[in-house]
Structure 1
Amino acid sequence: MDEETRYEAVRSRDARFDGEFFFAVETTGIYCRPSCPAVTPKQRNVRYYTTAAAAQGSGFRACRRCRPDAVPGSAEWNVRADVVGRAMRLIGDGVVDREGVGGLAARLGYSTRQVQRQLTAEVGAGPVALARAQRAHTARVLLQTTGLPVTEIAFAAGFASVRQFNDTIRAVYASTPSALRAAASREGPGARRADAPAAGIPLRLAHRGPYRSTAVFDLLAQEAVAGVEDMSGPRGRRTYRRTLRLPYGTGVVAVNECPDGQASQPGGWLDTRLHLTDLRDLTTAVQRLRRLFDLDADPYAVDERLGADPRLAASVAARPGLRSPGAADPDELAVRALVGRPAAERLVRRYGKVLDAAHESLTHVFPEPAVLAEAEPDGPLGTLTAALADGTLRLDAGADRDAAQAAMLALPGLDAHTVAAIRTRALGDPDVAPPGEDVPEVWRPWRSYGVRHLRAEDEEAVARGEGRREVGPPDPGRESAAGGHGPAPR
C-alpha cells in the first residue's frame, strides 16, 4: 500500500488493516493501530511502520486507547515462505528469547548479519527489537491479568533482569509496571484477573474480520484425541480444551467458541484461559494457539479472491471468514495424520506424558517423537518419528515448507495426500492443493481455504443425504484420517 491508501485506512478507522501496519504521530510521540478511535491526526504528522517494534525503535510509545500491541499478527508472515516470513514466525514462537539471534540464524541457515540485514530492510526492526516488543506485550498481559509479583513477571516474560524489564515498559508504554497494573484494575467489569497461577491466565485471542468459529470447533471435535483434547458444551457455545507440550513445561488451555451472532462481526476474539507449569511459555503457547485457530488470517483478502470464482462464490457468501486451522503441535499433527485417531489414542495411553495434575478428562501430553521412535522403531511410524527426533524433518514455525515436503515424500508410508494434509495443518501453508484434485491456480495464494470451502459444501451435502465428493484426504485425526494407513502400534 502507498501512503495515501494507508492514510485513508487511518482516516476511516478501518479495522481490516489492524496488524498489517501501524501509524505513529510525530506531534504526540504515540503509535496506534489503524482503527484507533482517537481524533485522526493530520496527514503530514503521520509515519507508517510494518511492525510495532519498528515504531518503538523510532521512539514512539504504544497508544493506551487502542493497544496496538494486542492486534492480530500480519497474515503476510504466514503466506511468505522466504527467510523473512520464516524468521517472523520463529520470533513469534519465542526462539530469540530461548536461543538468541545465533539460534534463530542457525535455524534459518543464514548468518546473524544476513538475518539482521533482511529483517531490518523488510520490517524496520531486527530480531532483538522484534523479540523485545513481544516481551513487552507478554509482560503487559501478565501485569493486567494476573496477581503475580512484578519480579516473577519480568523473568516469565523473558527479560534478563528487572531493570531491563522496567526500562522496556517505560519506553514502550510510557508507564511503570505498577501503573499498568493499576490502570487495568480501574477498567471495571471488563478487567479480568487471575489472582493465582492455579486459576490460569485469562486471555483474549484477537482475530481480524469475520470468524466462522463453528466450522473450526466442529473440526476440532471430530479430530479430538482422548486424554489430550476434549470438547464440551452445546454447539455454538462449546469449549475446546487440550494439553500442550512447551519448551519449558506443559500447559492446559481452554478456548471458548464465539457465540453464533458474532461470526460475521468485523473483528473480535476468542476467550481463552491458559494454565502453565512455567510462565516463560506464555508467548510460545499463545502463538501456537493462534496458528491452531488461524487467528492471523486476512479473511478479507481470502474471501475477495475465492469469491470471484463462480465455483466458490456461493460458499464464500454463505461462510465469510472460513478459516484453515493449523496445529498446536506440528510433530503431533504429523503422527496423527499418519496413524489416524484410534491409533493416536493408543499411543497417548502407552507413551504419553502423564500430567502432574489431571484436568478432568485431560490426562496426558502427546508423546514426543523421540519417545515414539524408541518405543515403535519399525515401519512408517518409526521412520517418521525418527526423522522428527533427529531433525532430518523439521516442522517448526520456521521450517522451509518445500524442503519439509521433499523430506516427507522421501519417507516410506507417507503418500502425497498425507503430506499435503501435514503441509496444510502442521506447516500452516495457506496455499496447498491436494494432489490430483481440480484446484485452480486462480485461487492462489489461498488454495487451502478453497479446499476448506469445498469440504464444507461436501459435509452439508452429506447432512442432506446427498453423498460426498471427497476433496483430498479428510483432516488428520478423524476416523477416516489422511493416512490412517500406517501400522497400528504394537
Structure 2
Amino acid sequence: MKDESSRYEAVASRDARFDGEFFFAVVTTGIYCRPSCPAVTPKRANVRFFPSAAAAQGAGFRACRRCRPDAVPGSADWNVRADLVGRAMRFIGDGVVDREGVAGLAARLGYSARQVQRQLTAELGAGPVALARARRAHTARILLQTTGLPVTELAFAAGFASVRQFNATMREIYGSTPSELRAAARGRTARGEHGTPGGIPLRLAFRGPYAAREIFDDLQVAAVPGVEEVIGVPGARTYRRTLRLTYGTAVAEVGERPGGSAGPVRSGWLDCRLHLTDLRDLPTAGQRLRLLFDLDADPYAVAARLSADPLLRPLVAARPGLRSPGAADPAEQAVRTVLGGPPERAAALVRAHGKPLDTPDGTLTHLFPTPEELAGADAGEGVRALCAALADGTVDLAAGADRDAAERALAALPGVGPAAAAVIRRRALGDPDVGPPDAAPEAERWQPWRSYAFQYLRHAGLLAGAAHETEDHDTAHSEDRNTAHAEDHDSKDSINHAALHAA
C-alpha cells in the first residue's frame, strides 16, 4: 500500500485492513480519517495521504468525529521492525517521551536526538514530540468522554504541561473544545467519576479476525492466583489482572467477546475497564494490554505468508486470526518463563515477595514482585541470575529494547539458556518472528511470522504434549531442573517432524 492509487482504492472500498497503516485527509473539509471511514468517499483530487495521525495533525487537519482515526490499531510494522524507527515507535507507545523527553528516548536508542528526529520525520512525517502529542490528545479525549474529572485535573493527567496547551491541542486536533467533546459523549454510555466501581472503559481496537477463544484459553490455563484471574464461561469470559505502572497501580479487565463489525473484512475491539490509582498511567496501561492480547497484529499478512505452507494452510483456515500473546509486564513474563512449572509455583513467589494491593479486588490481592524484590528468593539459579541481570541493566526488556542483544544476554545467564531466552523474546519483547524449537530449517519459510506458526502448531497439537498448554510454563524450563523435568521439556518442545516433512 505504498502507492497512492492503491491507498485510494482502500479508501473507496472502506477497507478496515489498513486502519492504522495509513491515514487520509480531505482538503475541502480539513478532516483526516482512517481508510474504513463510513463517510462518502471524497474525490481523488481532494485526498492527501499521511503515514501517521501526527503527520495529518501537523499538516493542519483535524480528526474525523465519525471514524475516530486516533483510535485505530497500531501498525504491525512496529512489532516486526528492529531498526531505529521501529524501536522508537515501541518506546513512544510505552510513554517514554512523556516521561523522559526526546533526550531520554534518544539515550535509550543509542542515537542523538537529532538523528531520531530526522529519521522519524522522514518516515512518519512527524517527530517524537508530535507523535507523543497525538498520543496525549487521544488519552485526553478518552478521559473527557468516560470520566467526570475537572478539566484542569484531566489535562495534567493526560500529560499536558498546562491547561492552555491542552485546550489549544484539543481544538486543533478535534475541532472542538474540551467541554464540547464531553457534552457530545453524554448519554451514549454510562459515565462514572474516576475511582468509582465502573472504572475507565476503553475499546482496544484490532484489525481483521480475532481468535479470542484461544488467547483466553491460554490466559486461563496460565493465570497466576493473586495476580490474574479469568472469570465467566467460554465465549463470555473476563480476564482480570493487576498492573504495576509508572505512577501507580491498576486492575485491568478485558472481555472475551469482541465488539465491532462482521463480514468479509472484519474488525472490532475488546472491551476493557481500567481501575487506576493514577490517571497518568492510562495510555501505558492500555498499551501493555494491547501487547498482551497482540492487538496490533496484521492477521492478513500472517495468513498470506503461512498459508503458502502445505502443513500450515489448513491450520490457518481452521483458526483465522490466531494471535501470539505478548506480556503485560516483560520482567514478570521473563521470571515466569524461567521459573517454569504450574501457575501455583509463581503464586508462591507472589505471596512471599509481592506487594499486596491496598484493597484486594476479588481474588486479586498482589502485584507480581519486581526483580529487586525477588533478589533473595529461593527460586533456583536461573531466576536469581535473571533478576540480578534485570536489576543491574545487563538484560533490557523495555518496550523498544534491542531484541538480539536481549536474547544474547539472556542465553548467557546461568540457569536460563537459549530455549528460555527465545520464549522471553517471543512473549516479553513481543517479537512476531521467533520460531518453534527444533524446527529451524522448516521455519525459514515462515519468516517474518514464525511466532504465529508456533501458535498454529501448538494449538493443532503438532508440538507434542503442548496443544493446550502455554509456552511460558511448558516450553522453557530453566536448566537447573531435575532430569525428569528436562526430559519432559524435551518431549513438549519436540515438533512433529514427521508431519512437517510429510507436508
Asked if Structure 1 and Structure 2 have the same fold, meaning a TM-score greater than 0.5 normalized by the shorter chain, the answer is: yes
- For residues 71-470 of structure 1, what are the structure 2 equivalents within 5 Å? 71-186=72-187, 188=188, 191-199=189-197, 200-258=199-257, 266-340=266-340, 341-375=343-377, 379-437=381-439, 439-458=442-461, 469=464
- Aligned mates of 1:238, 1:21 — CA distance in 2: 33
- Unpaired segments ≥5 residues, structure 2: 483-503
Task: Tell me: CA distance 1:76–1:126, structure 2 relative to 1, closer, same or farther (3 Å).
Answer: same
**TM-superposed deviation, 1:310:** 1.1
**Which residue type is aligned with residue 354 of structure 2?**
G
- Aligned mates of 2:200, 2:181 — CA distance in 1: 17
- Aligned mates of 1:348, 1:285 — CA distance in 2: 21
Q: Is the 8 A contact 2:209 2:321 kept in 1?
A: yes
- Aligned mates of 1:261, 1:96 — CA distance in 2: 32
Task: Tell me: CA distance 1:237–1:261, structure 2 relative to 1, closer, same or farther (3 Å).
Answer: farther
Q: Is the 8 A contact 2:231 2:237 kept in 1?
A: yes
**TM-superposed deviation, 1:379:** 2.1
What SS does the corresponding residue of 2:311 show, helix, strand or coil?
A: helix
Q: Is the 8 A contact 2:371 2:391 kept in 1?
A: yes
Q: Which residue of 2 aligns with 1:465?
A: none
**TM-superposed deviation, 1:141:** 0.3
- Aligned mates of 2:179, 2:38 — CA distance in 1: 26
- Aligned mates of 1:477, 1:198 — CA distance in 2: 35
- Aligned mates of 1:366, 1:122 — CA distance in 2: 38
Q: Is the 8 A contact 1:339 1:486 kept in 2?
A: no
Q: Which runs of 4+ in 1 moved over 4 A?
A: 259-265, 374-378, 470-474, 484-488
- Aligned mates of 2:428, 2:255 — CA distance in 1: 22
Say what the alpha-carbon RMSD is for the aligned residues: 2.0
Number of aligned residues: 476
**TM-superposed deviation, 1:307:** 1.2
What SS does the corresponding residue of 1:172 show, helix, strand or coil?
A: helix
**TM-superposed deviation, 1:435:** 3.7
TM-score computed with the length of structure 1 as normaliser: 0.93
Task: Tell me: CA distance 1:118–1:374, structure 2 relative to 1, closer, same or farther (3 Å).
Answer: farther
**TM-superposed deviation, 1:484:** 5.4
- Aligned mates of 1:168, 1:155 — CA distance in 2: 13
**Which residue type is aligned with residue 274 of structure 2?**
L
Q: Deviations over 1:272-304 (max 9, x none)?
A: 110011000000000000000000001111111
Task: Tell me: CA distance 1:37–1:133, structure 2 relative to 1, closer, same or farther (3 Å).
Answer: same
- Aligned mates of 2:278, 2:336 — CA distance in 1: 27
Q: Is the 8 A contact 1:380 1:487 kept in 2?
A: no
Q: Is the 8 A contact 1:421 1:475 kept in 2?
A: no
Q: Deviations over 1:86-112 (max 9, x none)?
A: 100110101101111111111111111
Q: Deviations over 1:433-454 (max 9, x none)?
A: 1342254312111010011000
- For residues 19-34 of structure 1, what are the structure 2 equivalents within 5 Å? 19-34=20-35
- For residues 39-54 of structure 1, what are the structure 2 equivalents within 5 Å? 39-54=40-55
**Which residue type is aligned with residue 25 of structure 2?**
A
**TM-superposed deviation, 1:198:** 2.8
Q: Is the 8 A contact 1:417 1:434 kept in 2?
A: no
- Aligned mates of 1:202, 1:369 — CA distance in 2: 31
Q: Is the 8 A contact 1:475 1:482 kept in 2?
A: no
- Aligned mates of 1:483, 1:276 — CA distance in 2: 34
Q: Is the 8 A contact 1:435 1:472 kept in 2?
A: no
**Which residue type is aligned with residue 464 of structure 2?**
R
What SS does the corresponding residue of 1:254 show, helix, strand or coil?
A: strand
Moved more, 342-351 or 280-289: 342-351
- Aligned mates of 2:443, 2:277 — CA distance in 1: 46
What SS does the corresponding residue of 1:440 show, helix, strand or coil?
A: helix
- Unpaired segments ≥5 residues, structure 1: 460-467
What SS does the corresponding residue of 2:226 show, helix, strand or coil?
A: coil
Q: Deviations over 1:366-388 (max 9, x none)?
A: 00111112445972211110110
What SS does the corresponding residue of 2:375 show, helix, strand or coil?
A: helix
- Aligned mates of 2:446, 2:176 — CA distance in 1: 46
**TM-superposed deviation, 1:475:** 3.1
What SS does the corresponding residue of 1:357 show, helix, strand or coil?
A: strand
**Which residue type is aligned with residue 126 of structure 1?**
G
Q: Which residue of 2 aligns with 1:64?
A: 65
What SS does the corresponding residue of 1:4 show, helix, strand or coil?
A: helix
- For residues 475-486 of structure 1, what are the structure 2 equivalents within 5 Å? 475-478=470-473, 480=474, 482-483=476-477, 486=480
- Aligned mates of 1:2, 1:421 — CA distance in 2: 37
Q: Deviations over 1:306-339 (max 9, x none)?
A: 1121111111111110000100000000000011
- Aligned mates of 1:374, 1:105 — CA distance in 2: 34
Q: Is the 8 A contact 1:231 1:239 kept in 2?
A: yes
**TM-superposed deviation, 1:44:** 1.3
